[in-house]
Amino acid sequence: MTSGLDPVIHAPARLRVVATLNALREGDTVTFPGLRDLLGMTAGNLSVHLGKLEDAGYVEITKTHRGRTPVTYVALTRRGRLAFEDYTAEIRSLLDAASPPADG
């Protein structure tokens, strides 16, 4: 486990993105509009946050075409899954440390 919370994931919007993508099976993708709609974010806001996650190696963005229509797919990378696991373990550790000891 790393010390401290990963600042790339810790931003609320990026945490929502990573948590949503982590719910997919490894190797599965979601379209950009599908992710945008799931999260209720604007395209511009989502794009900025995906860029930061992509720069960190946490998401993979694939641009292709379906016929003549451009399609963008988003997936959480293995590195992103591991970073999210570390992040959630750190959160659990912080919560456990803040909990009062059980009587018994």
Q: Per-residue pLDDT tens for 40-80?
A: 999 999 999 999 999 999 999 999 999 999 999 999 999 99
**Which residue carries 């959160």 as its tokens?**
91
Q: Which CATH number do you get for residue 77? A: 1.10.10.10
Question: Within a domain: residue 31?
Answer: yes
Overall number of domains in the chain: 1
Residue 3: predicted pLDDT: 59
* Confidence at residue 1, expressed as pLDDT on a 0 to 100 scale: 41
Write down the pTM of the prediction. Answer: 0.88
* Residue 15 tokens, joined: 């945490």
72 HSE (CA, 13 A, CB side): 13
**CA angle (46 as vertex; 45, 52 as ends), nearest 5:** 95
Give the position of tokens 């590195």.
Answer: 79
Identity of the residue numbered 20:
T
Q: Do residues 73 and 32 lie in contact, with contact meaning Cβ atoms separated by under 8 Å?
A: yes
**Range(s) of the domain holding residue 77:** 7-95
pLDDT above 90 coverage of the chain, percent:
87
Q: Of 26, 55, 53, 57, which Cα lies nearest the Cα of 39?
A: 53
